[in-house]
Amino acid sequence: MVALFHLSPVLLVTAMLVVLRRPPVHAAIAGSLLVVVLWLAGAADAWHLGSMVAAAKDTAVLFASTAFVIVPGLAFVIYIERLGINLAVSQWVRSLGLRRGDQVAFIVLGLAPLLEAMTGFGVSLIATVPLLLSLFERKVALRMALAGMAIMPWGTLGLASVIGASLAHLDVTALASTSALTSAPVFLALSAMSLFLAGVREPRQWTALGAFWLLFVGVLYGASRWLGPEVAGVAAGLVTAAAVLCAGLWRLHRSDGERSAVQWPRQAWPYLALIVCIVALKTLWTLTAWQDLWVVQGAQVSWKPLASPGLALLLLLVWLGVHTRDSQRRAASDVSVPAALAARAKRPLLTIFFFLAMSQMMVKAGFLAGLMQLLAGLSPAAATSLVALLGALSGYMTGSNVGGNAIFMPAIAMLPEPSRLLLAAVQNSAAGHAALGSLSIVMLILGLAKTQATEESELVRFGFALACLNTALVALGAALLSGWLG
């Protein structure tokens, strides 16, 4: 009963989002205010100025590390939309002439994860929704678009894993690589679902999908482990897309020897430039350790701005600003980039700030001690299932992997060392897959596809079913991983 009372801010957030259907930012503000009221009323640990200052410092550090990626990330999104880059990419894929199974694997395990990992915020849908609508029947295309989004929680250069590792006091590469394994069943199930929806029944194409899934998981795990989550999603999507493309074009070449060589669309150079910039900075960090020159220290968390992927985005934005200066002058009637950025960034930043504030105050005031004791008293299987459920709930409610991690990851940080990594990975995976099938993503797909009311209700139900399926698959993946590790 005490644990439920201490979790009342989370229950309030849930009620506002699910029952009252209020925007996430309103729910986050209400949850934060309830924590303050309960703390001052003595419902948890005694209120101390030092505890409040510690909560404020950690909230500020975590928010700064998040905003340093989100703001330039959204600016990058605005530039690529105005340059028509995603349209050029979708037209290029249509021109390849791949067989249906290769098209599904290329989009769901390659192109969509690649674009989403570099940008986040559902930007990959701008390319994949028109592309899928041109390749498949409308109902199938919309469901494949949602399945393709829900497959990849490594958006915004692995930001959620970085923040989650800070909240759980874990090594970021360990959390990201373990999350790749707990998410592996989701990758397989959703890509197989997409292949089935596309009407592919040939055993050879299903076997090929299995091979591409193994490649995707292997690259994602390896890159997360040895390079970091910032480049893991990009590497997995890029390598898998290249493998599908090579295999598909090799088959086409055997039947049509005169087929011309395939070239990446010239308009899409900013994506390649971002990859080069991230890899170059990663190499520089490895050789010089210059990221350690500037460390922003909170009470219990720290942030290295020079190690943030936001730095790569800022460098690319300077390049884009110079490169597109003339075109921006010609399009003077358009809303300026700063104005468009302010309009887009305000709501997600406010939402994440208040969720971070709520979680840090709950930690410092002892609100999560009851949940920690509950998890510590459960069997490993029961604890894994409960964390998967809580993670999916937090991700689906907030529509954000970062926001979902901010709610429950601090409780996992209090658990003993042996169980903390696996449960943190379950939280990270479950929140990410649920967030990418949430109502905000569904609404984005509906807007891009100009759907009817009947299609909206069907896709909302399908998205909720995906979130439930993904939660069960993450719990299954964690159980298999736990048994394998002994």
Range of the domain at 356: 2-485
d(CA 33, CA 254): 65
Average pLDDT, integer, range 397-415: 83
Cα 158 to Cα 23, 231, 357, 441: the distances in Å are: 25, 7, 21, 18
Domain count, the chain: 1
286-306 mean pLDDT: 85
Helices (H) and strands (E) in the chain — how many of each? Answer: 24, 2
| Token reading at 355 | 């969720």
Q: What span, in angstroms and rounded, lies between the C-alpha atoms of 229 and 235?
A: 10
Predicted confidence band of residue 469 (pLDDT cuts 50, 70, 90): very high
Question: Which residues contact residue 309 at a Cβ distance below 8 angstroms, ignoring those fewer than 6 apart?
Answer: 69, 156, 157, 158, 159, 230, 278
Q: What is the residue whose two structure tokens read 């990992």?
A: 117
Backbone angles phi, psi at 178, to 5 degrees: -65, -35
Q: What is the pLDDT of residues 136-191, one digit of tens each?
A: 888 898 999 888 888 876 666 688 898 899 889 999 999 999 999 999 999 999 99
CA distance 277 to 310: 11
- Alpha-carbon gap, residue 471 to 393, rounded angstroms: 9
- Look up residue 253 and give its amino acid: H
What are 195-226's pLDDT values in tens digits?
A: 999 999 999 999 999 999 999 999 999 999 99
Print burial letters for 99-127: b (CB count within 10 Å at least 16), e (below 16): eebbbbbbbbbbbbbbbbbbbbbbbbbbb
- In this prediction, residue 123 has a pLDDT band, given cuts at 50, 70 and 90, of low
Task: Please name which of 276, 281, 274 lies closest in space to residue 305, comparing C-alpha atoms.
Answer: 281
Closest-CA residue to 149 (of 370, 399, 390): 399
Q: Is 115 helix (H, G, I), strand (E, B) or coil?
A: helix
Question: Chain centroid to CA 361: how far?
Answer: 25
**pLDDT on residue 34:** 93
Give pLDDT tens digits for 303-350.
888 888 888 889 999 988 887 766 555 554 467 888 888 888 888 888
